[in-house]
Structure 1
Amino acid sequence: MFKPCVVIPVYNHEHAIGAVTQAVLATGLPCVLVDDGSTPQCAQVLDDIAKASPQQIMLVRHAHNQGKGGAVLTGIRHAADAGYTHALQIDADGQHNVADIPRFIEQAAAHPASVIVGYPQYDESVPAVRLYGRYLTHVWVWINTLSLQIKDSMCGFRVYPVAPVLELTKRHRIGSRMDFDTDILVRLSWEGVDMVNVGTRVGYPTDGVSHFRMVLDNVLISRMHATLFFGMLLRAPKLLARKWSRA
């Protein structure tokens, strides 16, 4: 059975979430909106969106902000409880190309046991520092997985098979904030879950809101890479044996 839905974590993106949700619903997919402790203004916008499409939208709320990862996992758990087998994660700020959702779902249907991972295709306007910062994370991910299978671990546009994600969270604590997207992909790779990379155009947030904390989140991400590195060392024999058997 293949039954996908969309999960959107929302934290104070009241100016962009309406257009994003409308575009998502136009694809015919149901949607789980997770209000991650937003302001009353954003909460009201989400209430209005949910009331306008009660058959297609499930609205879930955190009383307090738990971070992007916490919101995504809450959405995936609710999707599983509702009988969905796959969850397409997309950001609420409008930076992802919603028109690519059918391509992602098509790949998920063709590879139901894999994670469909978006990798950004930027134009020449992207700041060089942004690309250099991402490339540093790419290198760490390639080291920590002993593989080049993951092209970009930071793009929040992807499709998860629900079952292995929930099984993983029973045994490991996954980063709940800006470390989430990379942490969960590396750990799923360790579990033997394959990755299918899909290129997608990525722009800047349409509402101009970014919740990235320059100092705190960089410290958090650096600590995550260190933790994953030592985890890789413990798993290296198994990872290398799997790689050689596939070769």
Structure 2
Amino acid sequence: MERRRLIPLKDVAIVIPAYEAADTLAKVLSDWFRFGAVSYQIWVVDDGSPDGTGDAARCMGVGVLNHKKNRGKGAAHKTGFAAAIKAGYEWIMTIDADTQHDVGEASRFLALNPAEFDMAIGTRRHNMKGMPFDRWFINRLTSMVLSIFGAHKPITDSQCGYRLISAEVLRKVPLRTNHFDTESELVARALRTGYRIAEVPITTLYTSPRSHINPFLDTLRFIRLCFRYLFWW
């Protein structure tokens, strides 16, 4: 049984960063349409994909924002955030383009009381099976640092791409990174600014062994982010 939505779907922009996602976008977007979203509230950010990702999104009638070259997941998020804020949306939901998230679980986010949180993050705490080791390690490291030094309660999944974020947070919190570390940077800076973080249990299906994370470079980026959070921000 679906929970009662306290946040109307019409007030939510949906931002989907996408790189080489031509094979999966149709399912993700079809699921959103079944959920009740309309094409004009969805933005797919094609991050310089060589496989026709942007064309696949256009065929579904949604908004498409293009990067001429691959700039990183964080840069794609920022492009989508800017478009959603300019369009006047009060809330922005992000979701990955690879079908690992269940669109139907967006109801869990929309059922939250908007007076009690500023950003809600999906947590895969009880569903880590199948997560590549490098992603698991980086996620555990950054989540631990944020939990110990920034949050009033544990942050269990600082890198989950399934989120609901108030436009106010995105207007007030500067984002300096452009890659996979941007999702953790947003959590860190939001905590430092005093915004309230909620967590929403979600299920995740890892359908593809391929990951766009660079085990070496992205690990360094996350370690650098942790040090900046601890000593410079």
TM-score normalised to the size of structure 2?
Answer: 0.85
Q: Which residues of 2 match residues 33-72 of structure 1 at below 5 A?
A: 33-50=44-61, 57-72=62-77
Secondary structure in 1 matching 2:190: helix
Match of 2:4 in 1: none
Distance 1:26-1:208 versus aligned 2 partners, 3 A rule: farther
Q: Is the 8 A contact 1:25 1:31 kept in 2?
A: no
Distance 1:149-1:191 versus aligned 2 partners, 3 A rule: farther
Structure 2 residue 225 is matched with structure 1 residue 224 = yes
Choose which of 22, 35, 38 in structure 2 pairs with 1:27. 35
Greater CA drift, 134-143 or 191-200 = 134-143
May I ask how many residue pairs the two structures share in their alignment? Answer: 221
Secondary structure in 2 matching 1:110: coil
CA drift of 1:66 comes to 1.8
Q: Where does structure 2 lack aligned partners over 5 or more consecutive residues?
A: 1-6
Choose which of 135, 142, 149 in structure 1 pairs with 2:147. 142
Structure 1 vs Structure 2 CA RMSD: 2.2
Greater CA drift, 140-149 or 222-231 = 140-149
Q: Is the 8 A contact 1:122 1:202 kept in 2?
A: yes
Match of 1:119 in 2: 123
Greater CA drift, 145-154 or 64-73 = 145-154
CA drift of 1:129 comes to 6.8
- Alpha-carbon distance between aligned partners in 1 of 2:147 and 2:127, rounded to the nearest angstrom: 21
- Alpha-carbon distance between aligned partners in 2 of 1:64 and 1:127, rounded to the nearest angstrom: 26
Q: Where does structure 1 lack aligned partners over 5 or more consecutive residues?
A: 51-56, 233-247
Match of 2:24 in 1: 16
Regions of 4+ moved over 6 Å: none
Q: Is the 8 A contact 2:48 2:66 kept in 1?
A: yes
Letter of the 2:21 partner, please give it.
H
Letter of the 2:180 partner, please give it.
M
CA drift of 1:112 comes to 6.8
- Alpha-carbon distance between aligned partners in 2 of 1:132 and 1:39, rounded to the nearest angstrom: 29
Match of 2:193 in 1: 191
Letter of the 2:56 partner, please give it.
V
CA drift of 1:133 comes to 4.4
Match of 2:3 in 1: none
CA drift of 1:192 comes to 0.8
CA drift of 1:207 comes to 4.8
Q: Is the 8 A contact 1:116 1:196 kept in 2?
A: yes
Letter of the 2:224 partner, please give it.
R
Secondary structure in 1 matching 2:45: strand
Q: Is the 8 A contact 1:149 1:195 kept in 2?
A: no
Q: Which residues of 2 match residues 79-228 of structure 1 at below 5 A?
A: 79-107=84-112, 110-111=114-115, 113-120=117-124, 121-122=126-127, 124=129, 131-145=136-150, 147-169=152-174, 173-204=175-206, 206-228=207-229
CA drift of 1:36 comes to 1.1
Identity of aligned residues (%): 25
Letter of the 2:145 partner, please give it.
W
CA drift of 1:157 comes to 0.6
Distance 1:21-1:201 versus aligned 2 partners, 3 A rule: same
Distance 1:14-1:63 versus aligned 2 partners, 3 A rule: same
- Alpha-carbon distance between aligned partners in 2 of 1:163 and 1:127, rounded to the nearest angstrom: 33
Deviations 1:144-166 (A, max 9, x none): 31533422101111101012212
